[in-house]
Amino acid sequence: MHFLDQAKIFIRSGAGGPGAVSFRREKYIEFGGPDGGDGGKGGDIVFEAVEGLNTLIDFRYTQHFRAPRGKGGSGQNRTGAGGNDLVIKIPVGTQILSDDKEHVLADFTKVGQRIVLLRGGDGGRGNASYKSSTNRAPRQHGTGWPGEEMWVWLRLKLLADAGLVGLPNAGKSTFINQVTNTKAKVGAYPFTTLHPQLGVVSHRGREFVMADIPGLIEGAAEGAGIGDRFLGHIERCRVLLHLVDANVENVAEAYRTVRGELDAYGAGLADKPEVVALNKADTLDEELVEALSAELEAECGKRPLPLSGATGAGSEAVLDAILAHLDAEAEPEQAEGGDWSPL
């Protein structure tokens, strides 16, 4: 399945049905009168967040959504049938933005969440509703209110507990393949990962979701490379796992570059709890790993965890650190009466 995290679609709610112009004509009733019923209401445009979807690829092929209009009224004061609501199913984590992308119209963060974005038009009045003491045989009727229409953007922000960040070739895909059931592409060249990957980590009887995004380079927040487009997918992560390649020329500079892009992007990314790991430590001797760890600690202010995504060495300690942050994040919610459980 192809990954698509943005799509532009056109939506239109249904117009109301017209009211009827009708008069009673029955054999044994001397005086008839108007009996035209009202028109039915048009269908609403409803968005619903559902399980099992993690891409907006379906909206690449279907971009116009129109709810049916209401049926017209009829004689004997019969109201027309209302148009069925059009329910558009989207992945959890989807935001609906205005056409200019300046306003968030809706944000779906829970399975089953439903929002009526456009309401269908009301049905027109039948001529029976116009009857009065001075207008005994009205022939006017309402044509029904039009529906609403607009272009909107759908933007998917994946929901994950932990997010992987780092420079290209930091070993993020190798690591997520090691600790989850993900089959992310791995290659010895930059930008092997072209779209976010999600995987479920099972550790110490617990489960949590981890997201891997394409590598970040300097200037990513301003559009350099491809990572800037996907930074939104880690906005909702509880903790970040920052992988630093032990084989780069300057580990402190590598760390500083990624942190600078997170800060430039904003949205609270720079303030999230962070676990720092010195990846590919299996390619160096212990003395050099210790020296690089000290250099990285001086930059980030915390002791990095040695890790080998390829062999799995050090993975236990890294996952333990992530769980500790997730538990720390859950405690305030439980204190407020909320129940936390991994996604």
CA neighbours within 13 Å on the CB side: how many for 44? 10
Residue 269, marked binder: no
CA separation for the pair 97, 52 (Å, rounded): 22
Residue 180, marked binder: no
Residue 228, marked binder: no
Residue 285, marked binder: no
Residue 281, marked binder: yes
Contact in structure between 123 and 79 (CB atoms under 8 Å): yes
CA separation for the pair 123, 128 (Å, rounded): 14
Residue 122, marked binder: no
DSSP letter string over 194-262?
A: -S-EEEEEEETTEEEEEEE-PPP-TTGGGT-TTHHHHGGGGTT-SEEEEEEETTSS-HHHHHHHHHHHH
Residue 247, marked binder: no
Residue 310, marked binder: yes
Residue 328, marked binder: no
Taking alpha carbons only, the member of 324, 341, 340 closest to residue 332 is 340
Chain CA centroid to CA 230, Å? 12
Question: What phi-psi label fits residue 313: left (phi over 0), alpha (psi between -120 and 50 degrees) or beta?
Answer: beta
Residue 268, marked binder: no
Residue 167, marked binder: yes
Residue 172, marked binder: yes
CA separation for the pair 116, 94 (Å, rounded): 15
Contact in structure between 107 and 114 (CB atoms under 8 Å): no
Residue 308, marked binder: yes
Residue 215, marked binder: yes
DSSP conformation class of 269: G
Residue 282, marked binder: yes
Contact in structure between 267 and 234 (CB atoms under 8 Å): no
In this structure, how many other beta carbons lie within 10 angstroms of the beta carbon of residue 248? 17
Contact in structure between 279 and 305 (CB atoms under 8 Å): no
CA separation for the pair 222, 327 (Å, rounded): 34
Q: Is 281 helix (H, G, I), strand (E, B) or coil?
A: helix
Contact in structure between 184 and 193 (CB atoms under 8 Å): yes
Residue 71, marked binder: no
Residue 170, marked binder: yes
Residue ranges for the known binding site for Mg(2+) are 173, 193
Residue ranges for the known binding site for GTP are 166-173, 191-195, 212-215, 279-282, 308-310
Residue ranges for the known binding site are 166-173, 191-195, 212-215, 279-282, 308-310
